[in-house]
Amino acid sequence: MQEALSMIYLWLKAGHIIFVVFWLAGLLMLPRQMIYMHPAAPGSDEEALWAKRTGLLRKIILTPSLVVVWVLGIALAFTLGAWDQGWLHAKLLLVVLMTAYHGVMVGKARKMARGDRPLSERQLRMWGEAPGILLALIVVLVVVKPF
Binding site membership for heme: which residues?
A: 16, 91
Residues placed in the known binding site: 16, 91
Let me know: does 116 contact 83? Beta carbons within 8 Å.
no
Evaluated on CA atoms 69, 70, 71, 75, the torsion sign reads positive
Closest CA to 25 of 52, 64, 71: 64
The phi and psi torsions of 105 (rounded to 5 degrees) equal -70, -35
Estimate to the nearest angstrom the gap between the alpha carbon of 34 and the chain centroid.
Answer: 16
Greatest CA separation for the chain: 61
The phi and psi torsions of 143 (rounded to 5 degrees) equal -80, -45
